């Protein structure tokens, strides 16, 4: 086991653990220390090869290891940097690092509109949280921003490239979950686009998962778009017998009406088990599901608003 200290909190991790995973381990064991977890826009545990691109998870390593205590000269991507024994990491305790992260947020927001009031991802958007926590009040970018028409890629998914931050999560999902992938990255640099081959439909059985992994509102569920703000819905864990996937999902309901079906996500908003399109899009009736009970939303985002729980009353 290796010893690592993040923001003054020490823990032991297995060899090969990254700084981000070590921080998540601390936050899981001690939820009161959740501030040690760096934000991540492109890293996604279930997707092999993801991470290292968005640079929002950068941290300052103030001591490389017990053997070599020299600090690392520049901030490192915590999702890709493995822990060494005795490593000391600063996530929220270093002002320079917070300034560097603010820079990354500024760059990410160059082309991503802050149209949260009309965006379907509002409340579940990682960039919204990131901008709120690390962003500047004003932008220095005065040039024209890039905009796109919305594209329907299949009967259930809408792509709005204007909001895409090119995290590649959907590309990895398509690569690793679906057969005959038809979408990927076209062009390069800031002209790069997520696109399909001549606007082909994505109709693979597991294609709906690209919606779940998208950290912003670029890929949205057409069966849910604009039907409700997410914080007005009530999430319930539910399952059904499915011969394609695990059949375990979250039903987002308004009264008895199922507005949306998604996969179940963990405390870090990563899908635990991917679900098929049939579960996601074709069973929007409560009777098709066995409802297990209300789902606890761990994220501190507005998504957890209005999810009241009755306190136990002591009857005298």
Partner 1 sequence: MARKILLEHAHVAGIEGYDVYRKMGGYRSVEKALKTMTPEEVVDEVKRSGLRGRGGAGFPTGMKWSFLAKPEGIPRYLLCNADESEPGTFKDRYLMEKIPHLLVEGMVTSSFALGVHTAYIYIRGEYKWIVKILEKAIAEAYAHGWLGENILGTGYSLDLYVSPGGGAYICGEETALIESLEGKRGNPRIKPPFPAVKGLWQSPTVVNNVETLATVPAIVNEGGEAYAEIGVGRSTGTKLISACGNLNKPGVYEIEMGVPVEEFIFSDEYCGGIPDGKRFKACVPGGSSVPILPADLMLKTAKGEDRVMTYESLSDGGFVSGTMLGSGGFIVFDEDQCIVRNTYTYARFYHHESCGQCSPCREGTGWMEKVLHRLEYGHGREHDLDLLVDISKKIEGNTICPLGDAAAWPVAAAIRHFREEFEWHVRYPQEALVRNYGLGRLEHYYGAVGV
x/- binding map, residues 38-57, to partner 1, per CB under 8 A?
Answer: -------------xxxxxx-
Question: Segment 128-187, which members bind partner 1 (CB under 8 A)?
Answer: 140-141, 143, 165-166, 168, 184-185, 187
**Does 195 help bind partner 1 (rule: CB under 8 A)?**
no
**Does 98 help bind partner 1 (rule: CB under 8 A)?**
no
Q: How far is the CB of 191 from partner 1 (least distance, A)?
A: 7
Question: CA-to-CA distance for 220 and 47, rounded, in angstroms?
Answer: 19
**Does 197 help bind partner 1 (rule: CB under 8 A)?**
no
**Does 62 help bind partner 1 (rule: CB under 8 A)?**
no
- Angle at the Cα of 265 from the Cα atoms of 259 and 271, rounded to 5 degrees: 105
With a CB cutoff of 8 Å and minimum separation 6, the contacts of 118 are none
Label the pairing between strands 219-221 and 87-90.
unpaired
With a CB cutoff of 8 Å and minimum separation 6, the contacts of 156 are 207, 208, 221, 222, 223, 277, 280, 281
Question: CA-to-CA distance for 6 and 13, rounded, in angstroms?
Answer: 12
**Does 267 help bind partner 1 (rule: CB under 8 A)?**
no
Q: Choose the stretch contacting partner 1; rule: CB under 8 A; options: 25-33, 101-109, 130-138, 284-292.
A: 101-109
* Shorter beta-carbon distance to partner 1: residue 2 or 263: 2
| Of the candidate residues 192, 242, 246, 291, the single one contacting partner 1 (CB under 8 A) | 192
Chain centroid offset of residue 309 CA = 25
Q: Are 38 and 134 in contact (CB under 8 A)?
A: no
Q: How far is the CB of 192 from partner 1 (least distance, A)?
A: 4
SS3 state at 280: helix
Question: CA-to-CA distance for 116 and 121, rounded, in angstroms?
Answer: 8
* Shorter beta-carbon distance to partner 1: residue 137 or 310: 137
| Of the candidate residues 16, 32, 67, 74, the single one contacting partner 1 (CB under 8 A) | 74
Q: How many residues contact partner 1, by CB under 8 A?
A: 34
Residue environment code for 18-36, b if the CB has 16+ CB neighbours within 10 A, otherwise e = bbbbbbbbbbeeeeebbbb
Q: Choose the stretch contacting partner 1; rule: CB under 8 A; options: 31-39, 107-115, 155-163, 226-234.
A: 107-115
**Does 291 help bind partner 1 (rule: CB under 8 A)?**
no
Secondary structure letter of residue 18 according to DSSP: B
Q: Which residues bind partner 1 (CB under 8 A)?
A: 51-56, 58, 73-75, 77, 80, 100, 103-104, 106-108, 110-111, 140-141, 143, 165-166, 168, 184-185, 187-192
């Amino acid at each position: 086991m290796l010893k690592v200290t993040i923001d003054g909190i020490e823990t032991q991790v297995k060899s090969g653990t990254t700084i981000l995973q070590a921080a998540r381990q601390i936050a899981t064991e001690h939820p009161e220390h959740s501030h040690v977890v760096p934000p991540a826009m492109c890293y996604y545990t279930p997707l092999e090869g993801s991470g290292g691109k968005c640079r929002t998870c950068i941290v300052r390593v103030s001591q490389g290891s017990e053997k070599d205590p020299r600090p690392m000269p520049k901030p490192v991507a915590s999702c890709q940097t493995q822990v060494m024994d005795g490593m000391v990491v600063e996530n929220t305790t270093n002002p320079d690092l917070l300034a560097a992260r603010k820079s990354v947020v500024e760059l990410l927001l160059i082309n991503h509109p802050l149209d949260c009031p009309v965006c379907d991802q509002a409340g579940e958007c990682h960039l919204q949280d990131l901008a709120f926590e690390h962003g500047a009040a004003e932008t220095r970018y005065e040039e024209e921003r890039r905009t796109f028409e919305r594209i329907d890629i299949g009967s259930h998914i809408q792509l709005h490239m204007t909001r895409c931050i090119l995290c590649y999560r959907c590309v990895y999902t398509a690569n690793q979950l679906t057969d005959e992938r038809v979408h990927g990255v076209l062009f390069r640099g800031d002209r790069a686009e997520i696109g399909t081959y001549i606007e082909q439909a994505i109709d693979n059985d597991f294609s709906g998962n690209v919606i779940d992994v998208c950290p912003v509102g670029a890929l949205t569920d057409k069966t849910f778009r604009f039907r409700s703000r997410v914080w007005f819905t009530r999430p319930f864990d539910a399952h059904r017998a499915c011969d394609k996937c695990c059949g375990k999902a979250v039903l987002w309901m308004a009264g008895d009406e199922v507005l949306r079906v998604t996969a179940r996500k963990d405390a870090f908003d990563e899908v635990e088990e991917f679900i098929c399109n049939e579960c996601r899009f074709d069973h929007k009736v409560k009777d098709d599901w066995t409802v297990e009970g209300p789902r606890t939303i761990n994220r501190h985002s507005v998504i957890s608003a209005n999810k009241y729980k009755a306190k136990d009353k002591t009857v005298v």
